[in-house]
Amino acid sequence: MGIREFPGSAPRGKGIAIGMRRSPDVSPRRLSDISPQLRQLKYLVVDEAIKEDLKWSRSVEDLTSGPVGLTSIEERILRITGYYGYQPWATSYKREERPRDSPGPAEAQAPAGTEAGGRPSRHCWRCSRAQLKKIFWGVAVVLCVCASWAGATQLAKLTFRKFDAPFTLTWFATNWNFLFFPLYYAGHICKSAEKQSVKQRYRECCRFFGDNGLTLKVFFTKAAPFGVLWTLTNYLYLHAIKKINTTDVSVLFCCNKAFVFLLSWIVLRDRFMGVRIVAAILAIAGIVMMTYADGFHSHSVIGIALVVGSASMSALYKVLFKLLLGSAKFGEAALFLSILGVFNILFITCIPVILYFTKVEYWSSFDDIPWGNLCGFSVLLLTFNIVLNFGIAVTYPTLMSLGIVLSVPVNAVVDHYTSKIVFNGVRVIAIIIIGLGFLLLLLPEEWDVWLIKLLTRLKVRKKEEAAEGGADLGLGLQSKSRRARPSFAR
């Protein structure tokens, strides 16, 4: 039982050999049993690649086992010599059998572009290059979103000095939405391998509205409400620019992210996240502080109310779109936005006419209209919507959202030199609070799990480095003591 003869061993009566094959779970033998191998260590030259393999072959279980969490010196020597059939990679079998974790920051155990053994990996290098390309495009998209949004806001403020008609400006800029689908089709012709005619592409994108496509019923039930919300969002935003400075308008509009979360939680039954509740509270606190910054004057209160209403309409638009229509592809989104432009031309045109004849928004002659400012504002707003809706094809959605909040300091710098804005302590704190709430809302849903995994990996790596340092120090001290000990061998 557990005893067997080996070939070439002594007879059973004279000597018994016990199987000395070491398993990874059995403690190693004493150094005195392997003294011949130890004498050969001083002639051993280990290649650098082998050192890396030996370093990475150590399992986490070996580093964390034991009362002090350090690998013994004898086991390290057994790893090098391979004595009793010990193989360094035998302890990694447990790791290979474990299921792979979900992708996230915690997977970054080795540096980018390296395999588990420290060797460069072509596949990882390709992934890193793709990620760098996506980040580069993300920076370009962020700058484009920031420049177009801040530029449209400042140009609207400049336009109102000569042309005091916010609803007419909203109507004029929304008409440009008709260009979305033609621009998308031009890109489709340039990039797609399978080119389709305009009619074929239109019919394929119309499937987004159902099996019957875009019917009159669908137009009034699924497109018209969003056209109204689109017009209200832009009109309230532009009307607020007349009342308060552009810095306050842009920072208060960032609260729409918090309103989207609250509506999604109530209407769509999205997952509850404590950090997003904190962000919503910060947004509300920032709105109150912004109202207090200039005192409770009529113009400032009305302007802040208009911006909050615009942010609310924007949030309602996004939540209802997800509830009624779901998610849309690029062609479907372009067709939908073009339909909003058609709706604006057909059904909203009467409102600016009524406002003109009632002299609510009146101008003496069409020659006095600053057509350059109107067209510039429309182009910037169209650019902003194109990049915001189609930028996801080249970068991450989170980076695109950063462009909106980065427009706040741009507007603040412009307001500082062009208007009489006063950046008192309350206004600065309100801007910081709303910006912080906006950034908290950009965190992914699994951010806490990723953070815990990342901290765990860092803790394990720190223990591994400490274990290697302690083991190397102990081996050095033992070798010095052996050299200092006198030898009585003849």
Confidence of residue 233 (pLDDT cuts 50, 70, 90): very high
User: pLDDT digits over 268-292, tens only?
Assistant: 887 777 788 888 888 888 888 888 8
Of the candidates 217, 294, 191, which has an alpha carbon nearest to the alpha carbon of residue 252? Answer: 294
Domain membership flag for residue 427: yes
Domain membership flag for residue 206: yes
Residue 466 above 70 pLDDT? yes
User: pLDDT digits over 407-418, tens only?
Assistant: 999 999 998 888
User: pLDDT digits over 186-224, tens only?
Assistant: 988 888 778 888 889 999 999 888 888 889 999 999 899
User: pLDDT at position 341, please?
Assistant: 95
Output 76 or 253, whichever has higher pLDDT. 253
Q: How many whole angstroms separate alpha carbon 338 and alpha carbon 182?
A: 9
Output 458 or 21, whichever has higher pLDDT. 458
Per the CB < 8 A criterion, the answer to whether 144 and 380 are in contact is no
Domain membership flag for residue 296: yes
Confidence of residue 169 (pLDDT cuts 50, 70, 90): very high
Q: How many whole angstroms separate alpha carbon 423 and alpha carbon 415?
A: 10
* Coil/strand/helix, residue 114: strand
**What integer best gives the mean pLDDT of the chain?**
75
User: pLDDT at position 229, please?
Assistant: 95
Handedness of CA 241, 245, 248, 250 (dihedral sign): positive
- The segment with the largest mean pLDDT, out of 20-24, 252-256, 360-364, is 252-256
Q: Which helix (H) or strand (E) holds 436?
A: helix 425-441
User: pLDDT at position 15, please?
Assistant: 42
Residue 483 above 90 pLDDT? no
Output 250 or 396, whichever has higher pLDDT. 250
Rounded to whole angstroms, the maximal C-alpha distance in the chain is: 123
Q: How many whole angstroms separate alpha carbon 176 and alpha carbon 338?
A: 8
Output 315 or 276, whichever has higher pLDDT. 315
Q: What is the mean pLDDT of residues 247-273?
A: 88
User: pLDDT at position 392, please?
Assistant: 80
Domain membership flag for residue 99: no
Task: Indicate the number of domains in the chain.
Answer: 1
Residue 78 above 60 pLDDT? no
- The segment with the largest mean pLDDT, out of 262-266, 417-421, 475-479, is 262-266
Domain membership flag for residue 416: yes
| Residues of the domain holding 267 | 132-449
Ranges 223-227, 247-251, 276-280, 394-398: which has the least confidence: 394-398
Domain membership flag for residue 32: no
Residue 93 above 90 pLDDT? no
Q: What is the mean pLDDT of residues 76-92?
A: 46
User: pLDDT digits over 6-40, tens only?
Assistant: 444 444 444 434 344 444 444 444 555 555 655 55
Q: How many whole angstroms separate alpha carbon 87 and alpha carbon 83?
A: 9
User: pLDDT at position 41, please?
Assistant: 55
What does the DSSP assignment read for 371-388?
HHHHHHHHHHHHHHHHHH
Of the candidates 314, 194, 325, which has an alpha carbon nearest to the alpha carbon of residue 260? Answer: 314
CA 166 vs. chain centroid, Å, equals 35
Domain membership flag for residue 461: no
Confidence of residue 327 (pLDDT cuts 50, 70, 90): confident
Confidence of residue 88 (pLDDT cuts 50, 70, 90): very low
- The segment with the largest mean pLDDT, out of 31-35, 184-188, 293-297, 460-464, is 184-188
Residue 124 above 50 pLDDT? no
Residue 378 above 80 pLDDT? yes
- The CA angle 65-66-68, to the nearest 5 degrees, is 110
Domain membership flag for residue 390: yes
